[in-house]
Amino acid sequence: MRKERVSVIHYLKFGIAAKNEDYNRLMTNLAAVTAGSRDPVLITGASGTGKTRLARRIGNVKKRRTKGPLAELDCGIFDEHEAPAALFGAGDRDGVLSKISGGILLLDEIEKLSLECQKRMLSVLEKGRYMNPFTGQEERRRFQLVSTSNAGKGESYVFRKDFISQAGLWKFRLPSIRERPEDLDANVEFAIAEYNRRHKSQCSFKTKALDAYLDFGRSAPWPGNFRSLMQSVKRMGFLAHGTAITTDIVRAEIERLTELWEPINSDDDEDEPGLASVDTSGTFDNLPVPPDRDARTLYGIPEPDNLSPRLSEILTTIDEIDRVQLLAVINTCRSSSTMAAAARELFAHSRAKRASFNDSDRLKKYLTRFGLSWEDVR
C-alpha cells in the first residue's frame, strides 16, 4: 500500500523532485485523498499553476478505482445560460451528467458557474439525483467531482457558501512559482524535458546559461506561473534548434520576459477592454540569429505544405507583424486539444488580471478578424 501511495504522489507531481516542504506535504495529502476518498476535490490557485493538468491526473487515478466513465467540462467556455444545458441537458440535447453515472466529473473554472447553476449542482451532489430536461425524468447520479477554480483574493466571483463548501470538501491550493523558489531548477528541468518530448529534440542548457536563467527566475514575478515558464522554455528550445541553449539565448529571453511583464497602461484601449496596445518595435532585436536561418523560419513560420491553400493565401496578404502573430496562434491551436486550452495559453498574462472573461470568445474574435474559425486553423 505504501508503495502504491508513493507511486500516486509521484504521478500527481509529474515526477518533479520538489524540495519545498509545504508543497510536498500538500501533494502527500492530496494523493491520500485521491486514492482513498470519494468526496469532492477542489483545486485552487492563481492562473498558470497547473490546476487543470493536476485535476486530470486526479481523475485518471480515481478512474482506475472505479468502473464509471470520466467526463470533463470547461465552465469558462459557456455563458450563464449555456452552462446549465451543458451540465443538466436541455429540451433538445442531453447534458454531461447523464453520461457519468458512477464515474468522475472534472469541472474546470467552476467560478464561472452562475448562482442558479451552483444551486442545481449542489442539489445533485447532496441528493444524488436531478431532473433531466432532455428526458423529462428524474435521474439518479452518483459521481466523484474534481473541480478547479481561479478565484482568489481580490476576485469578483460570487460563490454560494453551501455550494463551495460541498464542492470543496477537500480543498487544496496550488502555490505559485514565487512561493517555491527552491523548486525552480526542478521545474525548468521538467519544462525542457516536456519540450524535448513534444518536439522530438535533445535540447539542454549550457551550464552558465542555466545559472543565469535560474538567477533571474528565482526573483522574477512570473505572473503566468508555470504556464509562463513552459512558454519561456519553449521559445528558448526553438531558438536553440533542439541542441544547446546558450547564454545569448537566455539573455534575449530575460529581456523579452522583462518587457512582457512591464505594467501596461491600457487607458487608450477603451473600445476593446482587456486588450493592451503594445509597441512591438524592437521586439526581436536582441534574438540571436543562427547561421543559414532566415527570420521566417526562425520565428516559427510553418512551411507552405503545412498550411491549407486558404491559410497560405491569407498569410501572403497581411503585414509581417500580423503574419508572425497569426502563425503563432495557429501553432498554439494545433498543439492544443480544445479552443479553451489554446485560449488559456495565448491569453495567460492578461487573463490573470481580469475578474471574468471568456478566453475562448477572445480567441474566436481574433480569428474572425482574418475570416477564420477554430476548424480552419486546426
Sketch the domain layout of the chain as residue ranges: 2-175, 178-289, 300-378
Looking at residue 78, what is its pLDDT?
85
Q: Which residues have CB under 8 Å from 375's CB, separation 6+?
A: none
Looking at residue 331, what is its pLDDT?
80
Rounded to whole angstroms, the Cα distance separating 165 from 66 reads: 25
Q: Return the ∠ at Cα 73 (arms to 72 and 79), rounded to 5°.
A: 175
Q: Which of 189-193, 217-221, 238-242, 373-377 is predicted least confidently?
A: 373-377
Looking at residue 294, what is its pLDDT?
44
What percent of the chain has a predicted confidence (pLDDT) above 90? 51
Looking at residue 358, what is its pLDDT?
67
Rounded to whole angstroms, the Cα distance separating 95 from 189 reads: 41
- Beta carbons of 218 and 181 less than 8 angstroms apart: yes
What percent of the chain has a predicted confidence (pLDDT) above 70? 82
Q: Is the predicted pLDDT of residue 173 greater than 90, yes or no?
A: yes
- Beta carbons of 168 and 193 less than 8 angstroms apart: no
Task: List pLDDT tens digits, range 113-162.
Answer: 989 999 999 999 999 999 989 888 888 989 999 999 987 544 556 788 99
Instruction: Give the three-class secondary structure for 1.
Output: coil
Per the DSSP assignment, residues forming a β-bridge with 73 are 107
Tell me whether the CATH fold assigned to 2-175 matches the one assigned to 178-289: no
Task: List pLDDT tens digits, range 4-30.
Answer: 667 999 999 999 999 999 999 999 999
Task: List pLDDT tens digits, range 227-286.
Answer: 999 999 999 999 998 899 999 999 999 999 998 887 643 343 333 333 333 333 334 344
Rounded to whole angstroms, the Cα distance separating 205 from 188 reads: 10
Instruction: Give the three-class secondary structure for 90.
Output: strand
Task: List pLDDT tens digits, range 299-358.
Answer: 445 444 567 777 777 777 777 777 778 888 888 888 787 888 888 888 876 655 554 456
Looking at residue 4, what is its pLDDT?
67
Q: Does domain 178-289 have CATH number 1.10.8.60?
A: yes
CATH class label, 2-175: alpha beta
Task: List pLDDT tens digits, range 188-197.
Answer: 999 999 999 9
Taking the alpha carbons at both ends of the chain, their separation in whole angstroms is 44
Rounded to whole angstroms, the Cα distance separating 57 from 51 reads: 10
Rounded to whole angstroms, the Cα distance separating 165 from 59 reads: 20
